[in-house]
Amino acid sequence: MLEEITINVHSSIKISSGKALYFDPFRVAEKTSDADIIFVTHDHYDHFSPEDIEKVMKADTIFVAPASTAALIRGTFGIPDERIVTVAPGDKTEVLGIPVEAVASYNPGKQFHPKANGWVGYVVTVGGLRYYICGDMDITEEGKGVSCDVLLVPCGGKYTMDPDEAAEFTGILKPKYAVPTHYGDPVGDKSCGPAFADLVKTTSPDTTVVFKLA
């Protein structure tokens, strides 16, 4: 189920549906050089990892990132402006024919991911499905307004939602599918994913939880 989605570790996500879309590549084992688009949600080392980006990028890869991260991409790799799409929360655009929406991603009550930084999650529409890749966040008003078929939601706690909060958020959005992320390694106990799945049975009983992390 959801064979087009793979998660390398943590929030290092790949969606393969006609094109290869990478989100926050991290701890990539082998060089693939196959990324059509690399989306980066924010600047932290486990989301913006130059050594892992180098493993998946190719000569014509397009990058999508918020302003602070776009500057890092430009400075680190010397990518020309025409291959960097800089987004801010609320933006809607199209990249290589794929509709992309940027959604504010932040912690309302914690200092780790301030709203003022302008960091984002993404909604991408491929293969007739809307995928919401949340980035590092807790429950936000912006997030509650997203319509999606597939929710890739962090549930490891501390820097993001914990299982209870992620299940609550899933109950608000009521997607067809939910994929728990951002737990096990390097943050969050491995039990967070199964705990989230159990809670979703109550908060959003029509949502199917699909595990992509070991």
Over residues 107-121, mean pLDDT: 94
Over residues 32-45, mean pLDDT: 96
Tell me: pLDDT of 1 over 90: no
Q: Where are the domains of the chain?
A: 5-209
Tell me: pLDDT of 106 over 80: yes
Give the percent of the chain with pLDDT over 90.
90
Q: What pLDDT score was predicted for residue 114?
A: 95
- For residues 87-100, one letter each, b for 16 or more C-beta atoms within 10 angstroms of the residue's C-beta and e for the rest, the string is bebeeeeebeebeb
Q: What is the pLDDT of residues 76-89, one digit of tens each?
A: 999 999 999 999 99
Sheet arrangement for strand 19-23:
5-7, 13-17, 19-23, 37-39, 62-66, 84-87
Would strands 13-17 and 5-7 be described as parallel, antiparallel, or unpaired?
Answer: antiparallel
Q: What pLDDT score was predicted for residue 157?
A: 85
Give the percent of the chain with pLDDT over 70.
100
The conformation of residue 125, written as its DSSP 8-state character, comes to E
Contacts of 168 (CB under 8 A, 6+ apart): 139, 203
Contact between 104 and 115 under an 8 Å Cβ cutoff? The reply is: yes
Q: What is the C-alpha separation between 48 and 69, in angstroms, rounded? A: 8
Compare 185 and 9 and report the one with higher pLDDT.
Answer: 9
pTM for this entry: 0.96
Q: What pLDDT score was predicted for residue 189?
A: 83
Over residues 21-38, mean pLDDT: 96
Tell me: pLDDT of 204 over 80: yes
Q: What is the pLDDT of residues 133-191, one digit of tens each?
A: 999 999 999 999 999 999 999 999 889 999 999 999 999 999 999 999 999 877 778 99
Q: Which CATH number fits domain 5-209: 3.60.15.10, 3.40.50.150, 3.30.70.1290, 3.40.50.10860?
A: 3.60.15.10
Compare 57 and 189 and report the one with higher pLDDT.
Answer: 57
